[in-house]
Structure 1
Amino acid sequence: MTAWQGDREIALQGSKQRTMFAALLFQRGQVVSDLRLGELLWGDRPPATASAQIHTYASRLRKQLAPAVTIRRHHPGYLLQVCHGHLDLELFESRVRFGHSALRLGGYEESVNWFRSALRLWHGPALSNVTEHLIQIERPRLEEARLTALSSLIDAELALGRHARLIPELVDLVIQHPLQERFRAQLMMALDQEGCREEALSVYQEGRRLLAEELGVDPSPTLRSVYQALLSGESPKVAVPTGAEAS
């Protein structure tokens, strides 16, 4: 969790101050109550001086982040407003939307460029140096957004026939996220396009076993459709997500 003024990093002091800044940013112009801030800063045991400490963090943030960021007291909490284009998360989401739009229209090269541009905004794990209370609530959503953008980038690259260079990356992604069926389906398609159909079928069987053992479920229709296409001797096509699935 970092803030920058031009090329200079603004030194936000301590995990509590960073947590308050992040909590206000996530609400994007909505009031975050003192009660909610207290839960994110200290969990279910805020100190007796919680309100005073929150006030101190807000004052320090105002001084450090002005004029790009405005923090106002708005009962029962605080409200943050940031100039448009100054928040990486907003830029990421905007570029991902453009990427999905290009992907749906068949503009695969343009889509690749948008997704790559979005993913370059990530610098390591989301929400470093904040409290565990905030990490537990917000990091899964952010990580899911990153993985969705990455898998959409891979869809576009597969559509461009770049399967050979994608295989090592997809192997690593399946190892890191063994229950992520979309990466597994993409690896199967890449292997098939490279002429390794038997290996692709083995990737499916491994995924089916893991899903049954870990979650007690069968493979999704998407993963099954790729498998059935391979069994039929067909080359499965990239299924471009639409609507909420791509958001």
Structure 2
Amino acid sequence: MGAERRGLRFNVLGSLECLVDGHRIKLGGPLQERILTSLLLESGRTVSIDRLAETAWGESAPDTAKQQVRKAIADLRRRIPEGPALIVTEDAGYRVSVEPLQVDLHLFSRHVQKATSDRSEGEFSAAAGELRKALELWRGPVLNGTGGPVLGAASTVLEERRLAAVEELFALRLQLGEDSGIVSEIREFADAYPLREGLRAQLMLALYRAGRQAEALHEYAAMRDLLAEELGISPCPDLAGLFEKILRASPELDTPAQAPSAPSPRPSEDGARAPENAPCTLPYELPDFTGRHLELRFLLDRGQAGEGARIVAVDGMGGAGKTTLIVRAAHRLAASYPDGQLYIDLRGFTPGEQPLAPEEATRILLRSLGTPDSAIPDDTENRLAMWQAASASRRLLLVLDNAAEAAQIRPLLPVTSACLVLVASRCRLLDLDGAHWISVGTLAPQDSAELLTRTLGEERVAADPEAAKSLATLCGHLPLALRIATARLHNRPRWTLQYFVDRLREEDALLTELRSTERSVATTIQLSYEALGRSTAGRSCSSECTPGRTSTLMRPRLSRA
């Protein structure tokens, strides 16, 4: 059809976007956006004028609602290429005539359906890949949550579909043998949706397989107490049964044995080979990534295959967004490393945990490549040798996050120059020869403002721009602090920005407010300062890694020291 020839694309999973050959066009004001979103969500079906009016104004529609709807439709037809053919008038209302590939919601559904088919045929890696593609389309709630009650209800249904896809992806990754590398991702969703027992069960299983049985049992106790307090019910039988199996270390919970993967042939010189079912354990890429344009370009330029840079590294204080940055770069470089993209958290600065030893890291990496537990040597020397042999015949992208020292990294470096290693650490590891380093600090004020807008929505930020500026300043323009703050505001839609800012300004309240179940600004920054004091000849944690703008965040703690 003509719209396809023009490269017309609509995105409704987040803010409404109309793209023509990749360029976004303006659709008018909130009225036009709500009407077009309602039509796109019901594409192929007629939506009555009364329904469109209810979508636009809720129960307070003006007497001229129908006339305004017709006027908005006419405006949309003028703005959108081939608009009259796209928005069709029916007796009872209007209908949008688009192809499935033109709307991101339909693409999402297609990827989920393909994943279901792949899983039924035992193609778990392919199914996981389809679900990753589906979730990458998700940028947030419909119209970023500003669409009113009707679109809000539709957004709730779509959010449920998204969470179902997330849980299915985690289930597949657990089936494929991931454990410790997936814990933080599952925990993020389990904390955001604390009453979803399926996510809590997956977190418990991942913790158990990562050798953290006590933590897995603690998660069950926390879920049991929460359900009793909030709903007056007990955990479901499946969750209770999993608890009992973890308690007695049942062999049923062991990682499913994967068939040994045949060694991949060496990549061809033209780099065109792209093996099917290549493993990918990269974390979920944040759809609202903001700023860091120069830093991202640095990683992408030096990470391209054939450029000669085998190690590209990022250093910076805790909470500065190093992990988010290298994960975003890894997703964009993935096509250049078709034999696999592997992520591992080395736990160098994780509170209460010891850094991951190279021999344990190689066990995780070998399992990610499909090596069964029974085939992995027990002794360190032979295990490292197996990893070097496995990586030598592949073109891999390896992401080593949260590294404490060069000694953690060197045994994991592939011997072939066809591989790329991305490293993140709070300190610059001077003994890591051949690495290309870049430092990240706090966000620029304009990037902080953009992050607030993208996470809270334009309407909420525009209602009190001065409070938004104050919030960014109180957060020290630190990405971690900003994300925790916006998460609290997102879960409390009745709070105004000024009310939250006033709460943060209360004595000793700042660090208390800027923490969640898993994340704490105070702990993160304190560890960065401790690392600065422990700098040695092997690593350099310069003052650049603890920027002055975070002094606002640390003042309550330092005043009590």
1:236 to 242, 245, 253: 253
Where do 1:176-187 residues align within 5 Å? 176-187=192-203
Mapping 1:215-234, distance limit 5 Å: 215-234=231-250
Asked if residue 85 in structure 1 is aligned to residue 121 in structure 2, the reply is no
Q: How far apart in 2 are the matches of 1:12 and 1:225?
A: 52
Contact 1:20 1:37 in 2 (8 A): yes
Q: Distance in 2 between the 1:65 and 1:236 partners?
A: 54
- Retained in 2: the 8 A contact 1:18–1:130? no
User: Aligned to 2:89, what secondary structure does the other structure show?
Assistant: strand
State the AA in 2 paired with 1:136.
Answer: G
Q: Is the 8 A contact 1:16 1:131 kept in 2?
A: no
Superposed CA deviations along residues 18-65 of structure 1, whole A, max 9, x for unmatched, are 110111111121111111111111111211111111001111222223
* Match of residue 69, structure 2, among 42, 54, 58: 54
- RMSD (Å) for aligned C-alpha atoms: 1.8
**What is the aligned partner in structure 2 of residue 132 from structure 1?**
148
Where structure 1 has 5 or more consecutive residues not aligned to the other structure, the ranges are 239-247
Aligned to 1:243: none
1:195-231 deviation line (CA, Å, top 9, x unaligned)? 1112111101111111121122221233222212213
Report what 1:244 is aligned to.
none
Alignment of 1:38-77 (within 5 A): 38-67=53-82, 70-77=86-93
CA-to-aligned-CA distance 1:103-143 (integer Å, 9 cap, x gap) = 23321110111011111111233323753223421111111
Which moves more between the two structures, 213-222 or 16-25? 213-222
Determine the structure 2 residue equivalent to 1:189. 205
What secondary structure does 2:88 align onto? strand
Which stretch of the first structure deviates more once superposed, 216-225 or 82-91? Answer: 216-225
Indicate yes or no: 2:230 matched with 1:214: yes
Unpaired runs of 5+ in structure 2?
1-15, 256-561
Q: In the alignment, residue 151 of structure 1 is paired with which amino acid?
A: E
Corresponding residue SS for 1:223: helix
Equivalent position amino acid for 1:9 in 2: R
1:18–1:129 CA contact under 8 A, matched in 2: no
Kindly indicate whether the alpha-carbon contact (under 8 Å) linking 1:16 and 1:130 is maintained by their aligned counterparts in 2. no
TM-score after normalising by structure 1? 0.90
SS of the equivalent of 2:101 reads coil
| Range that drifts further, 75-84 or 143-152 | 75-84
Paired residues for 1:6-17 under 5 Å = 6-17=21-32
Q: CA deviation at 1:232?
A: 3.3
Flag the structure with larger Rg. 2
Residues 164, 190 of structure 1: 8 Å contact kept: yes
Q: Which has the higher contact order (CA 8 A, sep 6+)?
A: 1
Q: How does 1:143-182 map to 2 (within 5 A)?
A: 143-182=159-198
Count of matched residue pairs: 238
Matching residue's letter, 1:95: H
Q: Deviations over 1:78-109 (max 9, x none)?
A: 11111231010000011011112222332111
The structure 1 segments of at least 4 consecutive aligned residues displaced by more than 6 Å after TM superposition are none
Identity of aligned residues (%): 32
Whole-Å separation in 2 of the counterparts to 1:44 and 1:124: 25
Counterpart of 1:78, as a letter, is: Y
SS in 1 for 2:97: strand
Which amino acid counterpart does residue 101 of structure 2 have in structure 1? Answer: G
The one-letter code matched in structure 2 to 1:79 is: R
CA deviations 1:150-182 (Å, max 9, x no partner) are 111111111111111101111222211111111
Partner secondary structure for residue 72 of structure 1: strand
**Does structure 2 conserve the Cα–Cα contact (< 8 Å) formed by 1:3 and 1:10?**
yes
SS, match of residue 216 in structure 1: coil
